[in-house]
Amino acid sequence: MTSLRKAHLIIAGKLSLLVVGMFGFGYLMVPIYNILCDITGLNGKTSSIAAVAPASVDEDRLVTVEFVSVVNSSAAWTFKPMQRTMQVVPGQTYNATYEVVNLSGKTAVGQAVPSVAPSSAAKYFNKIECFCFTHQEFEAGGRKEMPLVFFVEENLPRSIDTVTLSYTYFDTGKQPAGDS
């Protein structure tokens, strides 16, 4: 084997190791990224932990909460909020409902992933009860109305008068409980 060919093989090997190392590093950073987003509200992520009821109310203020739904393109679902907007008083608890229908011909397990916009409002938007906390199992053609209990903290910056809560619904690909 020529020395030039050896040199090319060595460089190709090192580049391959670099690619594998970069992938591994990115994979290992996901949990850290998720923790950082949960703590800071960056990227519009809301906490995956149920909040406690608010302590005080700002009755002199109204905030518009918009409800948006998206279905992952690979999932056979319909998913929609039962109301598109709601006027809320910061500090008061509210109920909203989303409807999900499994359009596939088989039992499936779904999951909703929330996001809040603007992202700076995420840490002020609290879910007391949310269908996004757990996987949801649906029979073929099954339909559910899923509750959301939430509040917007009274210390939401005054510059924010509209908060958009968006959920993306997807099929987890997991087997329903009891199926093997």
pLDDT in tens, 120-167: 999 999 999 988 888 889 898 899 999 999 999 999 999 999 999 999
The ranges assigned to domains in the chain are: 1-40, 44-171
Can you give the pTM of this predicted structure?
Answer: 0.68
Work out the burial of residue 115: count CB atoms within 10 Å of its CB; fewer than 13 is exposed, 13-18 middle, 19 or more buried.
middle
HSE toward the beta carbon, residue 31, CA cutoff 13 A: 2
Query: What pLDDT is attached to residue 173?
Result: 76
Task: Give per-residue pLDDT as tens, 128-137.
Answer: 998 888 888 9
Q: Looking at the domain 44-171, which fold is it?
A: Ctag/Cox11 (Pfam 04442) (2.60.370)
If one compares 14 and 46, the residue with the highest pLDDT of the two is 14
Q: CA–CA separation, 57 vs 174, rounded Å? A: 41
Query: What pLDDT is attached to residue 158?
Result: 93
Q: CA–CA separation, 152 vs 93, rounded Å? A: 8
Query: What pLDDT is attached to residue 30?
Result: 66
Q: CA–CA separation, 157 vs 56, rounded Å? A: 15
Scan for tokens 């594998």, then name that residue. 20
Model confidence band, residue 90 (pLDDT cutoffs 50, 70, 90): very high
Contact 159, 122 (CB under 8 A): no
* Max Cα distance, the chain (Å): 81
Tokens coding 64: 């518009």
Quick one: how far is CA 17 from the chain centroid?
A: 33
Task: Give per-residue pLDDT as tens, 25-55.
Answer: 776 766 666 665 555 555 555 555 555 666 6
Model confidence band, residue 180 (pLDDT cutoffs 50, 70, 90): very low
Query: What pLDDT is attached to residue 127?
Result: 92
Task: Give per-residue pLDDT as tens, 58-88.
Answer: 788 999 999 999 987 777 889 999 999 999 9
Tokens coding 141: 């053609």
